[in-house]
Amino acid sequence: MGGAADAGVSSSAGASGALLVAVLLVVLGVDPSILGTGGAYDPGQVEAAGGTDEDAFERCRTGADADADVECRVIGTVNSVQAFWEDELPRALDREWQPTQTVLYAGSTPSACGTASNSVGPFYCPSDRLVYVDADFFAVLTDRFGADDGALAQEYVVAHEYGHALQDQLGLLGRAQEDRQGADSGAVRVELMADCLAGVWAHHASEVTDEDTGVAFLEPLTREDVDSALSAAAAVGDDRIQEAATGRVDPESWTHGSAASRQRWFLDGYETGDLGRCDTFAVDSVSG
């Protein structure tokens, strides 16, 4: 989640209620048999590059696929997050979500923001308006950064990048470039906002109900699910990364925020489900 342009969200073409439901079930690892299976996922929101095979993404159709296969989990999350913002943005901000593709690559691939690889991690590139993810990053997140390997840890990463796409659509991404380092810098505020936006998605992902019956499609996330997301948020905190790399912590050079701040802003979004709580520029200090 480093890199020049770790930000961004956009919308997807109109998902039907049934599609949305199935997608959400799948993504969050609920047994899709409750809903029945079928062509739930839309692999068309994801492009292949650098060693992945777009035709192979067609195998990703159900929640069971997402449980079994990390690439399918990325696709399901992309579908879910975009379906959420497509619905939420007109309601909350009177804005239309702009559909945003993810490039699901393996190894490395060029982007308009430089070479994408797991040495920079997943990012959103505002120059080509694409999210770049190598599904192998989740093993890096666990093995090198110490996050747990729960599904919501991985989904948080994807939802965070779509948070940056949303910021791009709202004209907020430039604030990271104007003030690039420090514990309360524009860059850190942009990153923590993306964490909060990921939390808002996570909150609502468990709330979507069947239009006809009013029955919720998903069990609420468990504490264990949320802990997984929090472990990922903490693992990519600047202080954790600096300490592991150099044994020192230097807030003056932070670009993404501390482990505690990243957890706090994700939780703010998750607990309230309120986009309005994600205005990290409205507070004196984002780490307080």
Contact set with Zn ion (CB under 5 A): 1, 6, 191, 194
Nearer to Zn ion, 61 or 164 (CB): 164
Least distance to Zn ion from the beta carbon of 240, Å? 15
Whole-number Å distance between alpha carbons of 237 and 215: 37
Do 237 and 257 meet the contact criterion of CB atoms below 8 Å apart?
A: yes
CB of 19 to Zn ion, least distance (A): 28
Compare residues 6 and 88 and give the one whose CB is closer to Zn ion.
6
* Three-state secondary-structure class, residue 120: coil
Beta carbon of residue 91, minimum distance to Zn ion (angstroms, whole number)? 25
Helix (H, G, I), strand (E, B) or coil at 269: helix
Residue 51's φ and ψ, nearest 5 degrees, are: 110, -10
Q: Which residue is nearest to Zn ion (CB)?
A: 6
User: Can you tell me the distance from the alpha carbon of 123 to that of 211, in angstroms, rounded to the nearest whole number?
Assistant: 34
Half-sphere exposure at residue 216, Cβ-oriented, CA atoms within 13 angstroms: 10
Q: Closer to Zn ion at the Cβ: 190 or 221?
A: 190
Nearer to Zn ion, 60 or 187 (CB): 187
Q: What residue has token string 């073409």?
A: 13
Distance between CA 60 and CA 75 in Å, rounded? 7
The nearest distance, CB 42 to Zn ion, in angstroms, is 24
Residue 120 CB, nearest approach to Zn ion (Å): 11
Nearest residue (CB) to Zn ion, 104 versus 190? 190
Backbone angles phi, psi at 81, to 5 degrees: -65, -40
Q: Which is nearer to Zn ion, 35 or 165 (CB)?
A: 165
Task: Give the whole-angstrom CA distance, residue 169 versus residue 12.
Answer: 13
Tell the smallest beta-carbon distance from residue 250 to Zn ion (Å). Answer: 19
